[in-house]
Amino acid sequence: MDLQKIANVVRGLAADAVQKANSGHPGAPLGLADIGTVLYFDVLRHNPANSSWANRDRFVLSGGHGSMLLYSLLHLSGYQLSLDDLKEFRQLGSKTPGHPEYGETDGVETTTGPLGQGVANAVGMAIGEKLAATRFNRPGLEIVNHYTYVIAGDGDLMEGISAEASSLAGHLGLGKLILIYDSNQITIEGSTELAFSESVKERYRAYGWQVLEVDGHNIPEFQKTLVQAQQNQAQPTLIIAHTQIAKGAPTKVGTAASHGAPLGVDEVVGLKTALGLPSDKDFYVPDDLKNLPELMTQKGQGMEAEWNQLFEQWTKENPQLAEEWNTWLDGTLPSLDEILTLFEPGTNMATRVASGQVLNAIARTVPNLVGGSADLAPSNNSFLHGEGIVSGQDFSGRNFSFGIREHAMAGILNGLALYGHFRVFGATFLVFSDYMRPSIRLAALMKLPVVYIFTHDSAYVGEDGPTHQPVEHTESLRLIPNLHVYRPADAEETAWSWVEAMKRKNGPSALILTRQNLPTLEKPNNWDFTRGGYVVRAEDKELA
């Protein structure tokens, strides 16, 4: 298979799509075509005929503006993305939106666009792989055994969320996480020298990562580097791939001008000429590559068929575990009705305390519920009692210590939810939900059933003062479309809020909880939590 030829076709498709749309980002796809081609046509274990195969390698394009790289690769490798779809790039209602959108395009693992989010998502996916492997693998029957790859650019690695997530990934020793750093040293304003002079290499070594360097346009060397990365199972790997933005463009290569605007007709002609593509044909795929989708689909189906044989043997030897696998994967929940009767009228407790009791009751019933807090578990009442804490040495626990990394926590939860198998929650003070907001918004866009526990919900926090007393936060969260926000008035409503959040499969939920005690209210005979408000105290005189 001529990988260089495929990479050049990817460049042509990307340049044509951006030019036809008259908007977009051609620079990154041109610069990353060699890397993307190696991944999709040589390295990734994936099945284009089944993009939800459980043991597929995950690929995340964190710099979502480079989406035409991903779309071109998906088309050529056989996913449900036609050449006509590529021609509809950035058009309303198309399968090829300006930034990749989970659920809208076959083969897209996560919605990316806000830089750095994809790095945190990939960390979450790698955590999911390790959790699932620990739970389900048996000697000689490793049904969970795959890698998570993420491409991130200079902008991604400037963002704080990527630093937070990478720090935790190193701490946890996520050896099947491979981050490919597209180091082209260009951002919108110009050279990265304007604002970015640190040694990324030394920073990631300090995080506990293996760091490798390679020419991102040397395909054989990049292939060797990936093998080296895969062989280190004790550490995540950062591959610093030195690339040129807009590689192949005659005058705009290596310039900021190629980042976020079409190359222009003449530049595209020059690009195609340099690449050996016919300059008078748009969206060109040569005849000898038109069978690529079929070949890659056959290859992927073979990989999945081989895995299915292993899975069948594992199922025969572990029938109860297999039943659990299926339940976890399809999201089936047991009845949670008993939890609704935990609290009697007159009970006086903070809703954060009630939440902790409900959470633990649910966890005893839902064994795939996992989560943690950004260093506030005792205050958030978010610890799962009797369950271990996930560490680099032991992934059998269900509690995460995210550290003081709220933004990474939210992005990682999205990655875990996308991975499948697990129901996830994260906790912090309500006032710090602002640190999580971009990831919460993405969870809502992707319809991920993440649960957020936000405690210390008002001025009743007290002596900590206004920096810790949320005033506007509940209303600002309610502004996010598809985020369900619950602010229970007592312990019983807290139980109902949790059950409703757990039942939800098409979006995230936020529980807004108190530090101060609240009495459990008497409810009317016809009370129904799902209908919303009810009369707590009726008028005692006739209304005029």
The answer, yes or no, to whether residue 39 has pLDDT greater than 90, is: yes
Q: Is the dihedral of CA 32, 287, 49, 130 positive or negative?
A: negative
Q: Supply the pLDDT for residue 229.
A: 99
Q: In angstroms, rounded to a whole number, what is the distance separating the alpha carbons of residues 300 and 431?
A: 47
Nearest of 159, 12, 155, 40 to residue 109 by alpha carbon = 40
Residue position matching structure tokens 């959470």? 359
The DSSP string of 311-337 is: HHHHHHH-HHHHHHHHHHHHT-----G
Q: Is the dihedral of CA 29, 32, 38, 40 positive or negative?
A: negative
What contacts 207, CB < 8 A, 6 or more positions away? Answer: 166, 167, 169, 170, 171
Question: Is 143 within 8 Å of 55 (Cβ atoms)?
Answer: yes
- Confidence at 539, pLDDT banded by 50, 70, 90: confident
H helix or E strand, kind and range, residue 75: helix 67-77
Question: Is 400 within 8 Å of 416 (Cβ atoms)?
Answer: no
Structure tokens at 432: 């710090």
Q: Is the dihedral of CA 292, 275, 187, 226 positive or negative?
A: positive
Structure tokens at 47: 């099945």
Q: Supply the pLDDT for residue 131.
A: 99
- Helix-then-strand count for the chain, H and E: 18, 15
Question: Is 216 within 8 Å of 245 (Cβ atoms)?
Answer: no
Q: Are strands 177-183 and 237-242 parallel, antiparallel or unpaired?
A: parallel
Q: What is the pLDDT of residues 272-285, one digit of tens each?
A: 999 999 999 999 99
Q: Supply the pLDDT for residue 72.
A: 99
Rg (the chain; Cα; Å):
25
Q: Which of 406, 463, 492, 500 is catalytic?
A: 406
Reply yes or no on whether 406 is catalytic.
yes
Q: Supply the pLDDT for residue 542.
A: 84
Q: What is the pLDDT of residues 373-431, one digit of tens each?
A: 999 999 999 999 999 999 999 999 999 999 999 999 999 999 999 999 999 999 999 99
Q: Supply the pLDDT for residue 405.
A: 99
Q: Supply the pLDDT for residue 501.
A: 98
What is the 8-class DSSP label of residue 388?
P
Q: Is the dihedral of CA 54, 138, 227, 154 positive or negative?
A: positive
Q: What is the pLDDT of residues 11-26, one digit of tens each?
A: 999 999 999 999 999 9
Three-state SS letters, 21-73: HCCCCCHHHHHHHHHHHHHHHHHCCCCCCCCCCCCCCEEEECCHHHHHHHHHH
H helix or E strand, kind and range, residue 349: strand 348-350
Q: What is the pLDDT of residues 143-157, one digit of tens each?
A: 999 999 999 999 999
Q: What is the mean pLDDT of residues 105-116?
A: 99
- Domains of the chain are 3-301 (3.40.50.970), 337-531 (3.40.50.970)
Nearest of 390, 333, 387 to residue 365 by alpha carbon = 333
Q: Where are the alpha helices (DSSP H) in 396-462?
A: 406-419, 437-446
The chain-wide mean pLDDT, for the chain, equals 98
Q: What is the mean pLDDT of residues 323-334?
A: 96
The DSSP string of 467-479 is: GG--SSHHHHHHT
Burial classification of residue 497, based on how many CB atoms lie within 10 Å of its CB (0-12 exposed, 13-18 middle, 19 or more buried) = buried
Provide the angle, in degrees to the nearest 10, between the axes of the packed helices 491-503 and 351-365: 40
- Confidence at 327, pLDDT banded by 50, 70, 90: very high
Question: Is 428 within 8 Å of 467 (Cβ atoms)?
Answer: no
The answer, yes or no, to whether residue 103 has pLDDT greater than 90, is: yes
Q: In angstroms, rounded to a whole number, what is the distance separating the alpha carbons of residues 72 and 88?
A: 12
Q: Is the dihedral of CA 229, 48, 105, 187 positive or negative?
A: positive
The answer, yes or no, to whether residue 8 has pLDDT greater than 80, is: yes
Q: In angstroms, rounded to a whole number, what is the distance separating the alpha carbons of residues 536 and 523?
A: 7
Q: Supply the pLDDT for residue 524.
A: 87
Q: Supply the pLDDT for residue 111.
A: 99
H helix or E strand, kind and range, residue 210: strand 210-215
400 bridge partner residues = 372
Q: Supply the pLDDT for residue 211.
A: 99
Q: In angstroms, rounded to a whole number, what is the distance separating the alpha carbons of residues 295 and 189?
A: 42
What contacts 458, CB < 8 A, 6 or more positions away? Answer: 469, 470, 471, 514
Q: Supply the pLDDT for residue 414.
A: 99
- Confidence at 537, pLDDT banded by 50, 70, 90: confident
3-class secondary-structure state, position 347: coil
- The model carries a pTM of 0.98
Q: Supply the pLDDT for residue 535.
A: 85
Burial classification of residue 205, based on how many CB atoms lie within 10 Å of its CB (0-12 exposed, 13-18 middle, 19 or more buried) = middle
Q: Supply the pLDDT for residue 541.
A: 85
The answer, yes or no, to whether residue 530 has pLDDT greater than 90, is: no
Q: What is the pLDDT of residues 122-175, one digit of tens each?
A: 999 999 999 999 999 999 999 999 999 999 999 999 999 999 999 999 999 999
Question: Is 501 within 8 Å of 359 (Cβ atoms)?
Answer: no
Q: What is the mean pLDDT of residues 345-351?
A: 94
The answer, yes or no, to whether residue 543 has pLDDT greater than 80, is: no
Question: Is 119 within 8 Å of 161 (Cβ atoms)?
Answer: yes
Q: Supply the pLDDT for residue 536.
A: 84
The answer, yes or no, to whether residue 79 has pLDDT greater than 90, is: yes
Residue position matching structure tokens 């008993």? 338
Q: Please state whether 297 falls in left (phi above 0), alpha (psi between -120 and 50) or beta.
A: alpha
Three-state SS letters, 242-300: ECCCCCCCCCCCCCHHHCCCCCCHHHHHHHHHHHCCCCCCCCCCCHHHCCHHHHHHHHH
Q: In angstroms, rounded to a whole number, what is the distance separating the alpha carbons of residues 371 and 40?
A: 32
